[in-house]
């Protein structure tokens, strides 16, 4: 008797049991698992006790790392800095300390690079944007993050990941758009304004924040990838994601960043005649052909 081959369903089930979900992990576990084993070293970690001075006065409990984990380590045996935002603390929002930690570590990576050892950066986005409790400082320092990214990406790649489930919104959505290479899962979401904000400003007829299908059809990873706002769509698995990151780092700096092609995107947006009539397919068609410039400058 011939052995019965396993059914495709059984194989899919086995595959899913074997997967290690990246979404499931906390920011620190994420950063430590992405770098080569044994190379992780945290900068400005929780024992340095740099926490937000503004939250306690507003009745909120601060956190000793302010929700941002900076890990120096190696990938492909080359130095890298991984910046991982913790979505479980204040929705991954950018306050004075959390945003300053990110901007300073990007600047540090650039300065080290100027002395001869370029340090590329990996940003794991999990953020609702600026922290409302620290609005002005958070906003100003988010601008600092953007500035630091623009300076660093000239010399080494700055690779972004949006794994989910918080997603990436507000000023950090701009940061994601500045990345040399952006990786998403289908669970991740990328949008300047979050669905609740759009609904609050423009009403549920414009965007129903309870309609999960609609939200993911417009801002979800599969859609953002199809429309060219993300460069890669990967499954929620630690190894798959780490491999994709290593490949992206190895490719180096793109000849032109997406944000340098802003004119092409604006031209497409200008084609929309009725801004209230949009759907997933229409947006994919609109931005078709604007995928990443595949040419890279090797460094």
Positions in the binding site for another protein (CB under 8 A): 7-10, 12-13, 15-17, 20-21, 23-24, 164-165, 186-187, 210-213, 216, 220-222, 236
Compare residues 29 and 293 and give the one whose CB is closer to another protein: 29
Task: Give me the least distance between CB of 234 and another protein, in Å please.
Answer: 13
Task: Give me the least distance between CB of 244 and another protein, in Å please.
Answer: 18
Task: Give me the least distance between CB of 185 and another protein, in Å please.
Answer: 8
Question: Which stretches of 6-67 are assigned E, i.e. beta strand?
Answer: 41-43
**Spatial separation of the C-alpha atoms in residues 83 and 93, rounded to whole Å:** 14
Task: Give me the least distance between CB of 112 and another protein, in Å please.
Answer: 35
Task: Give me the least distance between CB of 220 and another protein, in Å please.
Answer: 6
Compare residues 134 and 237 and give the one whose CB is closer to another protein: 237
**Spatial separation of the C-alpha atoms in residues 137 and 226, rounded to whole Å:** 35
Residues 6+ apart with CB under 8 A from 161: 122, 123, 124, 125, 182, 183, 184, 241, 245
Compare residues 13 and 297 and give the one whose CB is closer to another protein: 13
In terms of Cβ atoms closer than 10 Å to its own Cβ (0-12, 13-18, 19+), residue 141 is: buried
Compare residues 141 and 233 and give the one whose CB is closer to another protein: 233
Identify whether the C-beta of residue 20 lies closer than 8 Å to the C-beta of residue 235.
no
Identify whether the C-beta of residue 123 lies closer than 8 Å to the C-beta of residue 164.
no
Compare residues 149 and 168 and give the one whose CB is closer to another protein: 168
Torsion of CA 225, 204, 85, 161, to 10 degrees: 0
Q: What is the gyration radius of the CA atoms in the chain, in angstroms? A: 20
- Record the tokens describing residue 225, joined without a space: 């990838």
Compare residues 24 and 285 and give the one whose CB is closer to another protein: 24
Coil, strand or helix: which one is 124?
A: strand
Identify whether the C-beta of residue 34 lies closer than 8 Å to the C-beta of residue 75.
yes
Task: Give me the least distance between CB of 128 and another protein, in Å please.
Answer: 16
């Amino acid at each position: 008797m011939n052995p019965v081959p396993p059914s495709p369903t059984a194989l899919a089930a086995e595959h899913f049991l074997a997967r290690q979900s990246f979404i499931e992990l906390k920011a620190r576990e994420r950063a430590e698992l992405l770098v080569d084993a044994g190379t992780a070293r945290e900068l400005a970690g929780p024992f340095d006790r740099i926490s937000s001075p503004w939250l306690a006065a507003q009745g909120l409990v601060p956190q000793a790392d302010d929700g941002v984990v900076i890990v120096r380590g190696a990938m492909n045996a080359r130095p890298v800095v991984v910046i991982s935002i913790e979505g479980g603390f204040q929705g991954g929002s950018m306050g004075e300390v959390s945003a300053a930690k990110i901007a300073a570590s990007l600047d540090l990576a650039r300065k080290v690079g100027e002395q001869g050892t370029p340090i590329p950066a990996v940003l794991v986005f999990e953020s609702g944007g600026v922290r409302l409790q620290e609005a002005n400082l958070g906003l100003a320092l988010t601008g600092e993050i953007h500035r630091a990214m623009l300076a660093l990406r000239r010399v080494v790649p700055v690779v972004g990941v949006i794994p989910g489930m918080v997603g990436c919104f507000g000023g950090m959505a701009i940061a994601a758009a500045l990345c040399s290479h952006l990786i998403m899962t289908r669970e991740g979401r990328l949008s300047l304004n979050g669905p609740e904000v759009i609904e609050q400003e423009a009403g549920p007829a414009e965007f129903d924040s309870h309609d999960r299908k609609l939200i993911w059809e417009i801002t979800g990873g599969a859609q953002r990838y199809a429309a060219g706002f993300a460069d890669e769509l990967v499954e929620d698995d630690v190894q798959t994601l780490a491999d994709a990151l290593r490949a992206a780092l190895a490719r180096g700096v793109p000849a032109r960043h997406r944000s340098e092609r802003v004119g092409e995107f604006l031209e497409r947006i200008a084609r929309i005649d009725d801004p209230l009539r949009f759907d997933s397919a229409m947006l994919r068609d609109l931005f078709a052909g604007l995928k990443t410039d595949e040419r890279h400058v090797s460094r």
